[in-house]
């Protein structure tokens, strides 16, 4: 039986401090088996490596949301799927449902299968290598690893096919395909090693093990690589030695730990169709079960039978053509690249989160801008800013009494009443950022 739901605060996916105090407990990230108690019921987070689901798995998630939860599915900023409003005591039934759909291949490892990857890899001809097979190899290695459950539920693996779209996630262990596609660079913190592409997943797991040893040696119980004290950072020599000891051919690289070019919007799956796929987004990342089933049905009948949930709160349906967009749009999904929804995000807010000072989703919907363009906007019910995107944005944080604090990069924040927020937001979105926040 899964453990009882936790009543600790949901840490969500907001960044952690760069310096970590010594911790006396593990992280409290929810999972599919460790439910989190929220104000609107229990919450389950189902890890979906690289966001890849079969249509059958997507149908199973919709069934779970309807039978046990509030009838909707949330896409997280790591491309995982969350169920909310779950009935107390439903953990066993949820686990059986997910297990039958193949969504719990290794129950002890379920919270550490945090893997993002270039969603269009292998579809659009960009990138140096199709990283999807490497994602499957990494997941299999993770699920078979005795040490992997020691990782925190926040630890993140990323695989970038060379287009640079994973750079923004600041993953703990990163694989970046190199030109030609025969080699990949694996990084953990400032240490990097170059290996053959097929050895990349094993090198990633070795890098994660190096982090675990470094975290243990530091005595901090760090959850993320960037939390390690400098004196205990994983060194390139250590990483290279581990890779060599595992029998992998490695060449040290002095390259920076992440792609140093900013990912352009064109490298991400925008909404619409092209390259033999259809892309849709969900307003504020939430799909009703019927919308979710519609997307799964398109994948099943007109696509390859696969869906790729993206960290930008959308879904890619490989193999489907543009003639499917009409039905998806009619169901309330975003298919127009000019939709204002594409620049707006929000945390859970009220009524789901006890910390929230406002129903931020309702306010974000009411104040949806007239069109796309300008800086993205992220609404938060409190200072934690859960799920915010990285990079330049307008932060709108509830301060109570129908007021919000609006902040833009390089400008002092100002608090405005809800009644004046539309104008303040319109001005803030057109601000030219003078610096980019790092978190
Ligand atoms: S109100 Fe929003 S930002 Fe604050 S803890 Fe809740 S979900 Fe996170």
| Ligand 1 binding pocket includes 117 (Cβ within 6 Å) | no
Placement of tokens 């509030």 in the chain: 70
Phi–psi pair at 348, nearest 5 degrees: -65, -45
What percentage of the chain exceeds 90 in pLDDT?
Answer: 75
SS3 state at 108 = helix
pTM of the model: 0.90
> Do 284 and 362 sit in the same domain of this protein?
no
Question: Does residue 334 contact residue 310 with C-beta atoms inside 8 Å?
Answer: no
Instruction: Quote the distance between the C-alpha of residue 138 and its chain's center.
Output: 17
> Do 234 and 280 sit in the same domain of this protein?
no
> Do 193 and 169 sit in the same domain of this protein?
yes
> Do 306 and 364 sit in the same domain of this protein?
no
Rounded-to-10 torsion of CA 339, 342, 344, 350? 90
Domain termination site, one of 268, 285, 318: 268
User: Can you tell me the distance from the alpha carbon of 314 to that of 271, in angstroms, rounded to the nearest whole number?
Assistant: 8
The range of the structural domain enclosing residue 161 comes to 120-268
> Do 253 and 312 sit in the same domain of this protein?
no
Q: What is the pLDDT of residue 254?
A: 54
Give helix then strand counts, H and E, for the chain.
9, 21
User: Can you tell me the distance from the alpha carbon of 398 to that of 406, in angstroms, rounded to the nearest whole number?
Assistant: 9
Greater model confidence, 358 or 266: 358
Question: Does residue 352 contact residue 84 with C-beta atoms inside 8 Å?
Answer: yes
Does residue 378 lie within any of the structural domains?
A: yes
> Do 304 and 328 sit in the same domain of this protein?
yes
Does residue 21 lie within any of the structural domains?
A: no
User: Can you tell me the distance from the alpha carbon of 186 to that of 208, in angstroms, rounded to the nearest whole number?
Assistant: 11
Which atom of ligand 1 approaches the CA of 12 most closely? 8
Q: Give the count of alpha carbons within 13 A of 23, CB side only.
A: 18
| Ligand 1 binding pocket includes 380 (Cβ within 6 Å) | yes
Tens of pLDDT, residues 37-58: 999 999 999 999 999 999 999 9
Question: Does residue 64 contact residue 83 with C-beta atoms inside 8 Å?
Answer: yes
Mutate to test the pocket of ligand 1, among 37, 82, 363, 384 (most ligand atoms within 8 A of CB): 384
- What is the tally of structural domains in the chain? 3
3-state helix, strand, coil in the chain (%, to 5): 30, 20, 45
Q: What is the pLDDT of the chain when averaged over all its residues? A: 89
């Amino acid at each position: 039986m899964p453990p009882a739901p936790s009543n600790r605060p949901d840490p969500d996916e907001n960044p952690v401090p760069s310096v970590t105090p010594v911790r006396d407990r593990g992280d409290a990230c929810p999972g599919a088996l460790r439910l989190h108690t929220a104000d609107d019921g229990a919450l389950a987070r189902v890890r979906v490596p690289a966001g890849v689901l079969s249509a059958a798995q997507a149908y199973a998630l919709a069934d779970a949301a309807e039978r046990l939860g509030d009838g909707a599915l949330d896409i997280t900023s790591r491309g995982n799927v969350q169920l909310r409003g779950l009935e107390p005591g439903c953990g066993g039934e949820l686990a059986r449902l997910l297990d039958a759909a193949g969504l719990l291949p290794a129950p002890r490892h379920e919270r550490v299968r945090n893997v993002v990857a270039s969603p269009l890899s292998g579809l659009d001809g960009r990138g140096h290598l199709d990283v999807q097979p490497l994602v499957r190899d990494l997941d299999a290695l993770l699920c078979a690893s005795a040490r992997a459950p020691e990782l925190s539920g926040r630890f993140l693996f990323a695989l970038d096919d060379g287009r640079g779209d994973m750079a923004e996630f600041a993953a703990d262990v990163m694989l970046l395909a190199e030109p030609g596609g025969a080699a990949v660079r694996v990084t953990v913190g400032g240490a990097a090693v170059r290996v053959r592409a097929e050895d990349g997943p094993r090198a990633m797991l070795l890098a994660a093990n190096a982090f675990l040893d470094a975290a243990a040696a530091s005595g901090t119980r760090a959850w993320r690589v960037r939390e390690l004290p400098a004196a205990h950072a994983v060194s390139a020599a250590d990483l290279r030695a581990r890779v060599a000891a595992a029998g992998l051919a490695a060449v040290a690289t002095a390259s920076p730990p992440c792609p140093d070019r900013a990912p352009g919007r064109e490298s991400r799956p925008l909404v619409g169709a092209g390259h033999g796929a259809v892309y849709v987004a969900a307003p504020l990342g939430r799909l009703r079960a019927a919308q979710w089933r519609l997307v799964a049905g398109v994948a099943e009948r007109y696509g390859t039978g696969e869906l790729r949930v993206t960290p930008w709160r959308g879904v890619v349906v490989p193999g489907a053509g543009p003639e499917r967009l009409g039905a998806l749009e009619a169901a309330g999904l975003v298919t127009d690249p000019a939709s204002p929804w594409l620049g707006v995000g929000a945390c859970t807010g009220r009524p789901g989160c006890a910390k929230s000072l406002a129903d931020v989703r309702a306010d974000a919907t009411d104040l949806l801008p007239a069109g796309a363009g300008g800086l993205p906007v992220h609404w938060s019910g409190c200072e934690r800013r859960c799920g915010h995107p990285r990079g330049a944005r307008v932060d709108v944080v509830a301060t109570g009494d129908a007021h919000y604090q609006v902040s833009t990069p390089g400008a002092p924040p100002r608090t405005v009443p809800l009644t004046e927020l539309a104008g303040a937001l319109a001005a803030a979105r057109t601000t030219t950022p003078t610096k980019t926040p790092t978190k």
